[in-house]
Structure 1
Amino acid sequence: MEQTAATPAGPVGPLVRGLDVLRVLAAGPEPRRHPGDLARVTGLARSTVDRIATTLVRVGVLRAEGRELLLAPGAAELGNAYLASCGLPELLGPHAASLAGVLDESVSLAVPDGDGVRFLTRSARRRAMAISLRPGDLLPAARCAAGALFAAGRDGDRPARGPGTPARDRRVAEAHARGFAVDDQMIEPGLVAVAVPVRGPDGAVVCAVGVESHTSRHSAASLEERALPALRRTAAAMEEALACPPAPATHPAPLVATAAGARKDALKEELGAGFLQSLARGLDVLRAFGSLRGPARLTDLARLTGQPRATARRSLLTLRHLGYVREEEAGFRLLPRVLELGYARLCALTLPEIATPHLVDLVGRVRESASVAVLDGDDIRYVARVAGSRIMRIDIGVGTRLPAYATSMGRVLLGALPAAERAARLGRITPEALTPHTLTTREELEKAVTATAERGHGWVERELEEGLRSLAVPVTDGAGRVVAAVNIALLAGRATPEESLAVLLPPLRETAALISTDLAAVGRFSPVAPG
């Protein structure tokens, strides 16, 4: 094992307390909590909670809304670090999604986590009777199919523990003998599931892949008959993927760590005792696991975070003490318990929920109405909107559909399409002259959409409605794909076009960048619903 500095005297207190606050926010029934309530639940002093909150807000893990605190989308990066380092969603997720399509049922990947089973990915099917399991959720191992598999096989992580019962022992023995396990409404009435183990090259059970359904569609026996052959084929394909994984990703440039360290130092200088630098550094260490596959060496984690080895090691030992990290011969391994830090709640966020806080901030700056829309056929559909504070303002509601060809957001979204698809869409549109200024010929529209794509923003002046001006820019996901557009709408007579562009485009681009960053965090392993 790599030689490291001497073990510190004890855990990093601010990191321990900061993660306590995150757990309470993640586990509570309500997403928002008052700092006084957090102090009561955690047993911390109110002044301590205030310092923790200040730090977590400034590093993008929490958000303050009035006097209340809630998890920010940036907190999803903590769970993403585990999912990236273990590699299972990337390697096995496509196989699970393919199986869900073949069976037309929901499919999940799960791993053991202490006395429970932690879900990593779900390829869900839309049903009136929906199964509300989310990536990051924890179920008791004794009451679900995957739990019996982990107890029956050799798992290289923390095996499910707990007092044995005759019923549980029978289930485990059955799972071991048959090579699969069934959940016949043990977790909840109406829920049935069948799962099989996925083993790594060393024979250890790495995870379980399971199919879930409802008794309105299947009994446990009929689901077993229907799904088991395909499940076994999928598990075999997953084991092949684990045996031949792709090359690990390259490390980020050292300048990234240097810049991050400089920002933390600046925050400490700005906020003084109100900023808990050791908490921020501990979170940086946790996130750094996402740049590596499998066990991480102390040297690499220190380099990625720009921290001295002794500082990084102290955070690692604290994370080990809390059950988030395990120390192995090859280094430190991040464990699935990290997903309890809000991942299930955050991966359920929709595009409107992610975008709206940023729209509120934008409207507060420019005093004009702002919206987010997605392409829906040949129209745009508004999914989020915040009205401006002026007496005369644009009155459009969420859910409104407008023709894409006559809107700034529509031209942004059309301009982002592949050339062939863009041409096909424009070819089937029959523009209507909504005002005397509306572009109505295919040649005019192609020119306008091409210009929008080239300059990176859409501009529509009195084409949708007389007196209405709109400016829009794209919103992207973590892969750089344009998935939505954000705009500012205003009355054209308030300023010249040049003045509006100069004043509004910079804050609009900043807002789009913030929404895109949050989408990338939340949607890295769990696609974000458009709303």
Structure 2
Amino acid sequence: MEPAGTFERGLAVLRVLAADPGRRMRATDLVRATGLARSTVDRVVATLATLGHLRVEDRDVLLAGPLMALGEAYLSCGGLVETFGPHADALAEALDETVSLAVPDGDGVRLVGLFARRRTMSIAFRVGDLLAADRGAAGPALFDAPAPWAEDDQQMEPGLIAVAMPVRDGDGKAVCAISVVSHTSRHTLAGLRAHALPRLRDTVAAMETTLTGLTAPTTLTTTPATPATPATPAASAPAAPLASTADTVAASEAASVADSFRATKEELGAAYLQSLARGLAVLVALGSARGGLTLAGAARVTGLPRATVRRAVISLERLGYAAAEGTRFVLLPRVLELGYAHLSARSLGEIVHPHLADLVARVQESASVATLSGDDVVYVARVPTRSIMSVDITVGTRFPAYATSMGRVLLAGLPDERPAAIGPKPLTAHTLTTPGELAAAVRRARADGYALVDQELEEGVRSIAAPVRDRGGRVVAAVNVAAHAGRVTADELVRDVLPVLTETAARMTADLAHIRRPLP
């Protein structure tokens, strides 16, 4: 059976965009880079934009946050970060140095975990980056079997030093390398070796013990140094039992997914490449269970015919994104090349800004995102609307949290002791000025899921805010809409703006769910 060509062409467009995400590319640039027809590129871009993986801004085609679901599928399928992450994080804390996890990917190494220490001299590695195996410490640790550990004495970059060790499975195969990375301003290489190697040995031993104790299917995501001929999926192979994650997918949910493919195709017509959307759905489905899925399992998760799943898997194998392990198919680290490194490294302001711009376009009022710093809110993103009367706020502006809608939403995400410790002061005639009033307002924001502040920070300014959460459900930011009291009443903010605001907050939260590093 022929591979799903449309699916492969869609992945080709994603690879081009991900290879140089800092360059603003248009459809004509994609035509030149891929060799595809302009009509094909247009339909691919339209389909990926409909799925949320791309966005088009002034004719520029840009990667979008939901594309991270592809990389997340690989990370979940292998389970390496979940298995070894706590050990690596503890090592980084104990040594006060950055620690990374890397796996083989062809003739290079792919960074799959990063546990960084915040310093002025930061290390700009990103999860998903492909590093040369002959530079740095991770490559020799993975590919030089006799070596108990490996070192990098500024081969990767002047000033950068590292010590790495392989983590091996019961058969002695190196499934990943763990590296301790530092700078010559902190250590000599000999000093880093003396500082890190004893704890690094203990950490590797603990990781290997953890790996031995695993009972679930494990594919700690390695690929052969020389690409092998992809195996043909065995359509007649008996389906292995699904892992627990896949077992939670109900048949009705799978049918709903299949119905959504049909409904979108009917709505958008020829501009929508259903085979591309289905191929990406299969890719994500393979990551829904540790150790991958059988063809039958992927068909159940996606609600797609088994033949459709088989064509998508052939394409994924052909491109080095998946491999067969018995009757199951697992994702490989090359999936991370599809934009994950760029998207996962974005700042909070960069992540929320596109959603903020869309919010302003819909409500025609200024909007902002802020985080909590002490007893103040600090603006990390803002999109103003054009108006004769406007509020002069820029990124970095600080306001007292107690008198702002975003501040109350952020305080509502903390224990009650926090707002109780704040002594509010009158800023306008409307400001709540007693701890009891503030505590009640924060409790109300927690119960309602939003906060509205009416001219408490400044006369004539009303604002409404909703929480933005990280992947663990913690409130890490707030998004608000602010308007002049002469244009919008408080009731109108709740009736007309709040539904759009909460939808925007949900989209921001969905993007942050893919960010594994700690957020402010």
Alignment TM-score, normalising by the size of structure 2: 0.92
**Is residue 380 of structure 2 the alignment partner of residue 383 of structure 1?**
yes
1:108, distance to aligned residue in structure 2 (A): 0.3
| 8 Å contact kept, 1:134–1:348 | yes
SS in 1 for 2:406: helix
- Residue matched to 1:472: 465
| 8 Å contact kept, 2:160–2:181 | yes
1:397 to 394, 397, 402: 394
- Residue matched to 1:190: 159
Q: How does 1:329-478 map to 2 (within 5 A)?
A: 329-418=326-415, 422-423=416-417, 425-478=418-471
| 8 Å contact kept, 2:21–2:63 | no
SS in 2 for 1:493: coil
1:306 to 303, 307, 324: 303
Deviations 1:255-299 (A, max 9, x none): 333222222212211222211111111100111122110132111
Q: How does 1:54-133 map to 2 (within 5 A)?
A: 54-133=46-125
1:285 to 276, 282, 287: 282
Following TM superposition, the consecutive aligned residue runs of length 4 or more in structure 1 with deviations greater than 4 angstroms are 246-249
| 8 Å contact kept, 2:287–2:330 | no
| 8 Å contact kept, 1:96–1:123 | yes
1:223 to 192, 208, 218: 192
- Residue matched to 1:502: 495
- Residue matched to 1:25: 17
1:462, distance to aligned residue in structure 2 (A): 1.2
- Residue matched to 1:46: 38
d(CA) in 2 for partners of 1:492 and 1:250?
49
1:219, distance to aligned residue in structure 2 (A): 2.1
SS in 2 for 1:469: strand
1:253, distance to aligned residue in structure 2 (A): 2.8
CA distance 1:359–1:295, change in 2 (3 Å): closer
d(CA) in 1 for partners of 2:252 and 2:213?
32
Amino acid at match of 2:47: T
Amino acid at match of 2:286: F
d(CA) in 2 for partners of 1:245 and 1:392?
62
SS in 1 for 2:314: helix
The answer for unaligned runs of 5 or more in structure 2 is: 217-242
d(CA) in 1 for partners of 2:408 and 2:119?
34
| 8 Å contact kept, 2:286–2:329 | no
**Larger helix fraction of residues:** 1
d(CA) in 1 for partners of 2:244 and 2:89?
23
d(CA) in 2 for partners of 1:382 and 1:259?
40
Amino acid at match of 1:526: R
1:436, distance to aligned residue in structure 2 (A): 1.3
d(CA) in 2 for partners of 1:32 and 1:141?
30
**Is residue 263 of structure 2 the alignment partner of residue 266 of structure 1?**
yes
d(CA) in 2 for partners of 1:481 and 1:255?
31
| 8 Å contact kept, 2:420–2:439 | no
| 8 Å contact kept, 1:149–1:208 | yes
Moved more, 260-269 or 297-306: 260-269
- Residue matched to 1:172: none
Deviations 1:490-522 (A, max 9, x none): 11122332223111111111111111111113x
- Residue matched to 2:129: 137
1:478, distance to aligned residue in structure 2 (A): 2.1
CA distance 1:496–1:142, change in 2 (3 Å): closer
1:246, distance to aligned residue in structure 2 (A): 7.5
Query: How many equivalent pairs are there?
Result: 492
The answer for unaligned runs of 5 or more in structure 1 is: 1-7, 154-175
2:176 to 185, 192, 207: 207
Deviations 1:33-78 (A, max 9, x none): 1110011011111111111100111111111111011111111110
d(CA) in 1 for partners of 2:407 and 2:68?
30
1:112, distance to aligned residue in structure 2 (A): 0.3
| 8 Å contact kept, 1:118–1:136 | yes
SS in 1 for 2:368: strand
**Is residue 200 of structure 2 the alignment partner of residue 242 of structure 1?**
no
Deviations 1:140-180 (A, max 9, x none): 11223221222233xxxxxxxxxxxxxxxxxxxxxx1x411
